[in-house]
C-alpha cells in the first residue's frame, strides 16, 4: 500500500516529535494528523475532508466536528508543515492549529471523531461502540 515506516528516536519527548519525523519523511500537499488512540472513523469522512480541502484553496485545515466538539483526524495543508516542524517548547500542535482557526474548515463527523481511549471508561465506551458496529470497519 505504499506505507513507509519511520522511527522517532525522540519519542519520549512526546507526540509532536513523532509527527515532525513523519513530516520530514514525506513530500505531499497535505497530511492527516491521526492520533494513535483515535480510530473507527469512516473512509468516507477522509474522502469528504480531502474534497473540502481541494475545493477551498484558501483553507489550511479541515477536521470533523461532532455535536459541536472538534475532533480528529485533522487534514493539514503543506504551507503549515514548516510551523509544525518549528514548534517551540511552549507550543503544542493544537497551538498551531488554533493559530489558523480563520482558515480551518469543518465537516460533520460521527461519534468516532471525538472518541479516544485515555481511560478505562473510554475503553469500555469504545468496546460498546464496536459491538454496535458503529464504525467504518466491517
Q: Which tens digit of pLDDT belongs to each residue from 54-103?
A: 999 999 999 999 999 999 999 999 999 999 999 988 899 999 999 999 99
Q: Is 2 left (phi over 0), alpha (psi -120 to 50) or beta?
A: left
**DSSP codes joined into one string, 35-59:** -TT-----HHHHHHHHHHHHH-TT-
> Which superfamily is assigned to 11-131 in CATH?
Spore Coat Polysaccharide Biosynthesis Protein SpsA; Chain A (3.90.550.10)
- Tell whether the torsion through CA atoms of 123, 128, 134 and 136 is positive or negative: positive
Mean pLDDT of the chain: 89
Is 38 in contact with 116 (CB distance < 8 Å)? yes
pTM of the model: 0.87
Query: What's the average model confidence in pLDDT over 31-47?
Result: 85
Distance in angstroms (rounded) separating the CA atoms of residues 67 and 109:
9
83: cell is 510551523
Whether the per-residue pLDDT at 104 is higher than 80: the answer is yes
Nearest by Cα to 41 from 63, 70, 73, 68 = 73
What share of the chain in percent tops pLDDT 70? 95
120: cell is 478505562
Q: pLDDT confidence of 6, banded at 50, 70, 90?
A: very high
Amino acid at each position: 500500500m505504499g506505507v513507509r515506516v519511520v522511527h522517532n528516536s525522540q519519542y519520549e519527548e512526546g507526540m509532536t516529535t513523532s509527527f515532525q519525523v513523519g513530516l520530514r519523511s514525506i513530500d505531499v500537499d497535505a497530511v492527516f494528523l491521526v492520533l494513535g488512540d483515535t480510530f473507527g472513523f469512516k473512509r468516507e469522512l477522509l474522502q469528504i475532508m480531502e474534497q473540502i480541502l481541494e475545493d477551498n484553496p484558501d483553507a489550511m485545515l479541515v477536521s470533523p466536528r461532532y455535536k459541536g466538539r472538534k475532533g480528529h483526524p485533522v487534514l493539514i495543508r503543506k504551507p503549515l508543515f514548516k510551523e509544525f516542524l518549528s514548534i517551540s517548547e511552549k507550543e503544542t500542535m493544537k497551538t498551531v492549529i488554533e493559530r489558523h482557526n480563520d482558515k480551518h474548515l469543518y465537516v460533520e463527523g460521527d461519534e468516532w471523531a471525538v472518541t479516544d481511549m485515555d481511560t478505562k471508561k473510554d475503553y469500555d465506551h469504545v468496546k460498546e461502540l464496536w459491538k454496535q458496529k458503529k464504525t467504518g470497519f466491517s
